[in-house]
Chain A
Amino acid sequence: MRRAWHISLPLLVALLVALSWAGFAPIRVSSHEELFEIPRGTYARRAAGNPVEILPSRLRLTLGLNDVLLLRNRDDVPQVFGPTIMMPGQEFRLPFEQAASYQFACTAHASGQMTIVVEPEPVMPWSRIHWRARQWWEKRSR
């Protein structure tokens, strides 16, 4: 019993320190931009009948952190990407200032639709822990 306590106490302390850091340390990001690219040949591949899914049909952004969507058309043809048409080589930088769910038409998607969910900035400890955990999980599953 005493031995188990000796092992679990440091683990508990480490967990509390990690949670405190995750909840109270300010989140720093290197860029507010979330970049998505349409690679060259996307249209041709799709026209040839190959399913091409470049983007998730649902994107999640967070105010104050990654709240600028940067779309880049590297394909040889114009693409309707989000709320605009983009010529080959063009970029579209769309900032968000309100947390909401945005629906856009998008020819880069097989469904023709794209949803961008903009979440509020995580300011409370629990929301910071949640944000960090999700980022870690998404990075790991990529």
Chain B
Amino acid sequence: MIRRFALLLLLVGAAFANTGEALKAGVLSPSLAAPELALHGSDGKPLNLARFRGKVVLLAFGFSNCSEVCPITLATLAGARRKLASAAAGVQVVYVTVDPERDDAAQMRKFLGSFDATFVGGVGTRAEIDAAQKSYGISSKKNINADGSYTIGHSSSIYMIDRAGRLRAVMPYGHSVDDFVHDLTILLRG
């Protein structure tokens, strides 16, 4: 009897958990399998999303010489992981370069490591990066400066991929640490 009652409570709780709180991010429905990546990780391993199945993946695109958008995004994601404390073990940040000419694995490791040592960068050839960008609808445009140096304007949304590898939501640039913690808490619950 007690077991049945406990089971009932669990089912009711699960129903509320699924229909309850809304995400702060934009939600995709139906949620489909996230496009797979075929890149090289800054940790020296092949980079694909299957590696992180069972974790919530935050996927974003940028480059290590970025002085505006990327440092803010990465600091926010690092802040969210700190705030999640032990639950952060279930969150993996993947940051793919849009500047394969300058960003190699070592450069991305150094850049991302200054925010959070667990962040993994994605690098590859121009063709490999283009394929990854295309599958997520990422645009990027090189802006050449007068001295010949360049910056890159790029899409700045953060893709939220659930534990089962489905692309669930997209957080536009500019959201706070608390917004990420809010959504990650929901996604980590399953």
- A selection of 8 A-B contacts at a CB cut-off of 8 Å is A80-B137, A83-B173, A93-B26, A93-B27, A94-B170, A94-B172, A95-B22, A97-B24
**In the complex the two chains form, what is the Cα distance from A91 to B173 in whole Å?**
20
**Most chain A CB within a 10 A radius of its CB, from B137, B157, B170:** B137
**Those of B107-156 within 8 Å (CB) of chain A:** 135-137, 139, 155
**Most chain B CB within a 10 A radius of its CB, from A80, A82, A94, A107:** A94
Question: Interface size class for chain A?
Answer: 20 to 34
Query: C-beta contact mask, A72-88 vs B, less than 8 Å → 1, else 0?
Result: 00000010101111110
Give the size of the chain B interface in residues (CB under 8 angstroms): 19
**In the complex the two chains form, what is the Cα distance from A86 to B135 in whole Å?**
10
**In the complex the two chains form, what is the Cα distance from A97 to B172 in whole Å?**
12
B28 touches A84 (CB 8 A): yes
**In the complex the two chains form, what is the Cα distance from A85 to B155 in whole Å?**
11
A90 touches B137 (CB 8 A): no
A105 touches B26 (CB 8 A): no
Given A85-B136, A85-B137, answer yes or no on A90-B26 (Cβ-Cβ < 8 Å). Answer: no
Indicate whether B13 reaches chain A with its CB closer than 8 angstroms.
no
A94 touches B26 (CB 8 A): yes
B29 touches A84 (CB 8 A): no
Among B24, B26, B135, contact of A84 (Cβ-Cβ < 8 Å): B26
**Those of B159-190 within 8 Å (CB) of chain A:** 159, 170, 172-173
**In the complex the two chains form, what is the Cα distance from A78 to B28 in whole Å?**
13
Could you list 7 further interchain pairs (A-B, Cβ under 8 angstroms) beyond the known A83-B157, A84-B157? A87-B32, A90-B30, A92-B28, A93-B26, A94-B172, A102-B172, A105-B139
Note all chain A residues with C-beta closer than 8 A to B26.
69, 82-84, 92-95
Note all chain A residues with C-beta closer than 8 A to B170.
83-84, 92, 94
B172 touches A83 (CB 8 A): yes
Note all chain B residues with C-beta closer than 8 A to A112.
139
**In the complex the two chains form, what is the Cα distance from A105 to B170 in whole Å?**
14
B27 touches A92 (CB 8 A): yes
Note all chain A residues with C-beta closer than 8 A to B24.
95, 97
Query: C-beta contact mask, A92-121 vs B, less than 8 Å → 1, else 0?
Result: 111101000010110100001000000000
A84 touches B32 (CB 8 A): no
A93 touches B139 (CB 8 A): no
A91 touches B22 (CB 8 A): no
Closest residue to A90 on the B side, CB-wise?
B28
**In the complex the two chains form, what is the Cα distance from A90 to B173 in whole Å?**
21
**In the complex the two chains form, what is the Cα distance from A82 to B22 in whole Å?**
20
**In the complex the two chains form, what is the Cα distance from A130 to B155 in whole Å?**
35
